Amino acid sequence: MVTSIGIVGLGLIGGSLARRAAASGYEVVAWNHTPRPYEQAGHDGIRCVETLADLAQAKPGLLILCNPLKAMPDVLARLAPVIDPAATTLSDVGSVKGMVREQAERAGLKECYVGAHPMAGNEHSGFEASDPALYDNALWAITVDGSTQYRRFLTVAQFIVNGLNNELIVLDDATHDRAAALISHMPHAIATAMVNELCASPERNIAAALAAGSWRDMTRVALTDPSRTRAMIDEDRTNVEALLRAMAARLLAFAGDLHCGDESAIAAYFAQGQPFRDFKAHGALTQTMRATSRDAPGGSAQWYKDTRDIDPARWQCELFESARQGERITCFLDNYRVAIHRQPLL
First to last CA, the chain: 35
Q: Which is nearer to a copy of itself, 218 or 339 (CB)?
A: 218
The residue within the footprint of a copy of itself, chosen from 16, 88, 130, 343 (CB under 8 A), is 343
The helix-helix angle for 72-79 and 98-106 (nearest 10°) equals: 30
The C-alpha torsion from 238 through 107 and 77 to 95, rounded to 10°, is 30
Could you tell me the smallest distance in angstroms from the CB atom of residue 337 to a copy of itself? 22
| CB-facing half-sphere around the CA of 339: CA atoms within 13 A | 14
Helix axes 237-260, 226-235, angle to 10 degrees: 100
Which amino acid, one-letter code, is at 232? M
Give CA–CA dist 59/79, Å, rounded: 12
Binding residue for a copy of itself (CB under 8 A) from 1, 82, 206, 296? 206
Q: DSSP string of 212-277?
A: -HHHHHHHGGGSS-HHHHHHHHHHTHHHHHHHHHHHHHHHHHHHHHHHHT-HHHHHHHHHTTHHHH
Among 77, 99, 119, 129, binds a copy of itself (CB under 8 A): 119
Do residues 304 and 283 touch, judged by C-beta distance below 8 A?
A: no
Q: Which is nearer to a copy of itself, 71 or 281 (CB)?
A: 281
How far apart are CB 345 and a copy of itself at their closest, in Å?
Answer: 6
- Binding positions for a copy of itself, 301-340, rule CB under 8 A: 323-326, 328
Which CB, 254 or 315, lies closer to a copy of itself?
Answer: 254
Interface positions, 160-179, toward a copy of itself (CB under 8 A): 169, 171, 175-176, 178-179
Q: Based on CB atoms, which residue is closest to a copy of itself, 77 or 179?
A: 179
The one segment of 106-114, 128-136, 242-250, 299-307 that binds a copy of itself by CB under 8 A: 242-250
Q: Quick one: 251 or 296, whose CB is closer to a copy of itself?
A: 251
Q: Smallest distance from the beta carbon of 55 to a copy of itself, in angstroms?
A: 29
Nearer to a copy of itself, 40 or 224 (CB): 224
- Selected from 36, 70, 280, 314, the binder of a copy of itself by CB under 8 A is 280
| Given 131, 234, 262, 318, the residue binding a copy of itself (CB under 8 A) | 234
- Which residues are CB-contacts of 78 (< 8 A; sequence separation ≥ 6)? 52, 53
By C-beta, is 40 or 125 nearer to a copy of itself?
125
Q: Does 188 contact a copy of itself by CB under 8 A? A: yes
Is 264 one of the binding residues for a copy of itself (CB under 8 A)? no
User: CA 45 to CA 39: how far, in whole Å?
Assistant: 10
Give yes or no for residue 208 binding a copy of itself (CB under 8 A).
yes
What's the half-sphere exposure (Cβ side, CA atoms, 13 Å) at 100? 32
Long-range contacts from 147-154, C-beta under 8 angstroms, 24+ separation: 147/110, 147/111, 148/114, 148/316, 149/111, 150/312, 150/315, 152/89, 152/112, 152/113, 152/114, 153/114, 153/315, 154/332, 154/335
Binding positions for a copy of itself, 39-98, rule CB under 8 A? none
Options 129, 221, 289, 301; binder of a copy of itself; rule CB under 8 A: 221
Q: Which of 28, 222, 310, 319 binds a copy of itself (CB under 8 A)?
A: 222
Nearer Cβ to a copy of itself, position 80 or 266?
Answer: 266
